Chains A and B, each alone.
Chain A
Amino acid sequence: MENVFSDFDLVLKAFWLTIQLALLSGLLAMVLGTLLAAMRVGPVAVLRGVASTYVALVRNTPLLVMCIFVFVAAPNLGLFVGTPFLLKGTIAVGLYTAPFVAEAIRSGVNAVPLGQAEAARAIGMTFAQNMRHVVLPQAFRASVPPLASTLIAMTKNTSVVAVFGLMEATARMRDFVNKNSDDTIGIFIIFAIGYILLVELISLAAYGLERRWKAAR
């Protein structure tokens, strides 16, 4: 225990890296996921097919295998050689999370009552107008809880990049546990609390957002 507290700056630094990773890959996943969701409900069949294929392939591949592609296979081909590890981690986690974001948004689109889209069509809106002014604003509200779940899962998933040498929270815990083998439970609890704080923060933000938007409806 003392070791952890005397080196507490290392713990904080590790969690700061986790937070950076979560923020960056969250951003990438949200952008890509929204795009995928729009492609999947859109009128062009080929785009729908591309999006569904991406979702089906990535959802069924473990994040660790995605990381093998980015961290091991790509440098072997001369790609991503000088890229910082943080960026590589962001790419792996972001690409992996995007389909889950797309599914969350699509479930939000599903929750918008039929009459809304029909009414928008009846007054002559095009697909793009319909999405922009009528469906998506309501869909984003309905998809806050599943999106929050996805982002929480993603924050926990950032731990996987530890396997490939990023010194974030999980790798740091392994380091501590390896050095102080008689005090693993205390160390584990400290790191677990760190993760729980992050998770509850996202959860709380989602809860607040949902309540606020519900009142605005």
Chain B
Amino acid sequence: MSGSVLFDAPGPKTIARHRLYTILTAVGVVAALVGVLLFLQSEGELAYEKWEQFVTPEYVEVLLVDGLLKTLQMAFTSIIFAVLFGVVFGVGKLSDHAPVRWLCSLVVEFFRAVPVLLLMVFIFFTWGAGDGFGPYWSVVLALTLYNGSVLAEVFRAGVLAVPKGQGEAAYAIGMRKTQVMNLVLLPQAVKIMLPAIISQCVVALKDTSLGMYIVAPGLTYVAKLMWTEFPGTHLQTAIVLSFLYISVNLVLTAIATWVQKRFVGEHKRLDVGMTALTGLTTQGTGGAPGPGIGAP
């Protein structure tokens, strides 16, 4: 508490006041929790029968294998393709040739501004439905295009974040453009970008749930099956579902934080805005050096 610059070390009166706030909040939180539990109890939602399927091995297996594993598969497949897409278009946006730059910017801006669900529905009904490649690949393709566009922006920012002298020195010793990019800039940029790429995995993982709209496999699909088979267990299924998503995402976030500490150090995490305009301004103000006020 003494670490913050927003307030002085509290005196006796303030300590008493804070203690009061603490007690009030704690009582409020506990009361709310107890209230919710009592309400659920009175509705019979806490009865063992309503939770039984989540401790029955067969259903747990379905949930984990057909649900979680499929979801993870979709997320990681699309992230791998998205990284490739991102490298191509990110480097394309840095090209010396204006038409290439414009084309890449147009593609990236388009897919970043369109909701991923809209993209998914369009892909599914155009190429996926009927004899097409099915809902699974529709989800993967939509997520690839969206996350790839975000990653393209991350790659561009990452390459620009490499100190200018590196590229200049490489040109000075006579390297060609491709060599400078491949041998000098990209290897250093990848290190800076790794945490951002892992955070993007969290986004992709969350967005796989949208596959529900086009009946794609994955956690949400299994959830629907389960509350159809056990009527009246919607709440329980939703709670288990969010528990699974939250645990996987927390693991991913922990990995991202570790990678950030291990490979990047204390630098600010790369952050790109949602469009060209906000992206521009974010980069303008983003790299504020030194610790700010609210640092946790």
Taking Cβ atoms with an 8 Å cutoff, the residues of A that contact B are 40-47, 50, 56-57, 59-65, 68-69, 72-73, 76-78, 106, 109-114, 116-118, 121, 126-127, 130-131, 135, 142, 144-146, 148-149, 152-153, 156-157, 159-160, 162-163, 169-170, 173-174, 177-178, 181, 184-185, 188, 191-192, 195-196, 199-200, 203-204, 206-207, 210
Contact = CB atoms under 8 A, between A and B. Distances in A.
Most buried by B among A61, A78, A109: A61
Contacts of A160: 117, 210
Given A46-B26, A114-B5, A191-B118, A68 B113 contact: no
Contacts of A57: 242, 246
A202 B209 CA distance: 27
B250 interface: yes
A62 B203 CA distance: 9
Interface string B98-116: 0000000000001001111
Given A50-B29, A76-B232, A127-B7, A60 B277 contact: no
- Chain B at the A interface: mostly helix, strand, loop or mixed? helix
A203 B277 contact: yes
Interface string B200-219: 00100011011011000000
Nearest to A109: B294
Most buried by A among B113, B125, B293: B293
B285 A145 contact: yes
B182 interface: no
A118 B285 CA distance: 22
Interface in B173-200: none
Given A77-B39, A109-B292, 7 more contacts: A44-B25, A112-B293, A114-B290, A117-B5, A121-B8, A126-B7, A145-B273
B274 interface: yes
B273 A61 contact: no
B246 A159 contact: no
Contact of B241 (A65, A153, A206): A65
Contact of A127 (B6, B22, B278): B6
